[in-house]
Amino acid sequence: MSVMINKVGVIGSGQMGNGIAHVAALAGLKVVLNDVSEERLKSAMATINGNLSRQVAKKIISEDARKQALERIVSTETMDGLADCDLVIESAVEKEEVKRKIFHDLCAVLKPDAIVASNTSSISITRLAASTDRPERFIGIHFMNPVPLMELVELIRGIATDDATFDAAKEFVTRLGKQIAVSEDFPAFIVNRILLPMINEAIYTLYEGVGNVEAIDAAMKLGAHHPMGPLELADFIGLDTCLSIMQVLHEGLADSKYRPCPLLVKYVEAGWLGRKTQRGFYDYRGEKPVPTR
């Protein structure tokens, strides 16, 4: 029996969580957005409003749709606020122990027939599912960044995911107007299995002095027609997330070709995580981004 999804919970209100809340609310679903602090949630609501307003200005949506979408989103700092959701999508940081703790706390209050999903970029869905009380109702729903603009969502079944959960997730993603690519549950799935080694190689290219930041990005934008250069894209994704994905690939596939570039490690250790901390391969604190090497 397929589960009817009317109310969606989103855990983590960073760039991906607020994007998921945005598209779900625009599609007419009720949304409960959860994060660890009121400050984070306020800033996420302001971002969602800003992104909806841009869509109004570009005549993609109406002013009425913007208002109604915002009214459909409530925010909460507690797991209790998510208890009656039909689907909860976890989109907190790419750290397995953080996600496992979230699922533990969530399952203690969430209604038993609800579906639990993760927006993880790389971590095993089967392993995450095993940390819940409902592996058959657990699934990977992997959105792309920026969520309101990107067409694709990957769906990943864990070993125990049942057909009703898979069908409900398909129906949900289709309702959001997104296309689906189904991936088997292997490290980093499809998009990041291909994209992240390319980004990591761009960082090695910088590390080994083959080119500077501007040359590498210009090369791939103008020479391969990528919409963003790989270093600009790394900053956009978040260097902490890029590193976590490379670590999952390296550990999960045990192949040295996935070794994270030491320069990526250094940036993350410095807390230079890209756009979200205003510094990464570019410095975003001025009027326009300036390369940091």
Ligand X SMILES: NC(=O)C1=CN([C@@H]2O[C@H](COP(=O)(O)OP(=O)(O)OC[C@H]3O[C@@H](n4cnc5c(N)ncnc54)[C@H](OP(=O)(O)O)[C@@H]3O)[C@@H](O)[C@H]2O)C=CC1
Ligand Y SMILES: CC(=O)CC(=O)SCCNC(=O)CCNC(=O)[C@H](O)C(C)(C)COP(=O)(O)OP(=O)(O)OC[C@H]1O[C@@H](n2cnc3c(N)ncnc32)[C@H](O)[C@@H]1OP(=O)(O)O
Q: Does 93 bind ligand X (CB under 6 A)?
A: yes
Contact (CB, 8 A) for 8 and 86: yes
Query: Which position has the token pair 């800003």?
Result: 50
Is 276 labelled as part of a ligand binding site? yes
- The DSSP-derived string for 247-269 is HHHHHHH--GGGPPPHHHHHHHH
| Interstrand relation of 152-157 and 138-143 (parallel, antiparallel or unpaired) | antiparallel
Q: Tell me whether residue 209 or residue 227 sits nearer to ligand Y (CB atom).
A: 227
**Of 75, 183, 192, 244, which one is the catalytic site residue?**
192
The stretch among 25-33, 37-45, 97-105, 143-151 that binds ligand Y (CB under 6 A) is 143-151
Is 79 labelled as part of a ligand binding site? no
> For ligand X, which residue of 5, 8, 9, 15 counts as binding (CB under 6 A)?
15
- The DSSP-derived string for 179-240 is EEEEE-SSTTTTHHHHHHHHHHHHHHHHHTTSS-HHHHHHHHHHHH--SS-HHHHHHHH-HH
Minimal distance in Å, beta carbon 2 to ligand X?
25
- Give the pair of three-digit tokens for residue 137: 């109702």
Minimal distance in Å, beta carbon 57 to ligand X?
24
> For ligand X, which residue of 9, 10, 12, 32 counts as binding (CB under 6 A)?
12
Answer with the entry of ligand X, ligand Y, none that 111 interacts with (C-beta below 5 to 8 A by kind). none
* Other CB atoms within 10 A of residue 208 CB: 10
Give the length of the chain.
Answer: 293
For residue 59, give the DSSP letter.
Answer: T
Binding to ligand Y by CB under 6 A, coded x per residue (else -) over 236-255, reads: -x---x--------------
Q: Does 11 bind ligand X (CB under 6 A)?
A: yes
Q: 55-67 as b/e, with b when 16 or more CB fall inside 10 Å?
A: beeeeebeeebbe
Minimal distance in Å, beta carbon 112 to ligand Y?
30
Please confirm, yes or no, whether 119 is among the known catalytic residues.
Answer: no
Is 223 labelled as part of a ligand binding site? no
Minimal distance in Å, beta carbon 154 to ligand X?
9
Q: Which residues bind ligand X (CB under 6 A)?
A: 11-17, 34-36, 40, 91-94, 98, 102, 119-121, 143, 145, 237-238, 241, 276
Q: Which residues bind ligand Y (CB under 6 A)?
A: 51, 54, 121, 144-146, 148-150, 191-192, 195, 227-228, 233, 237, 241
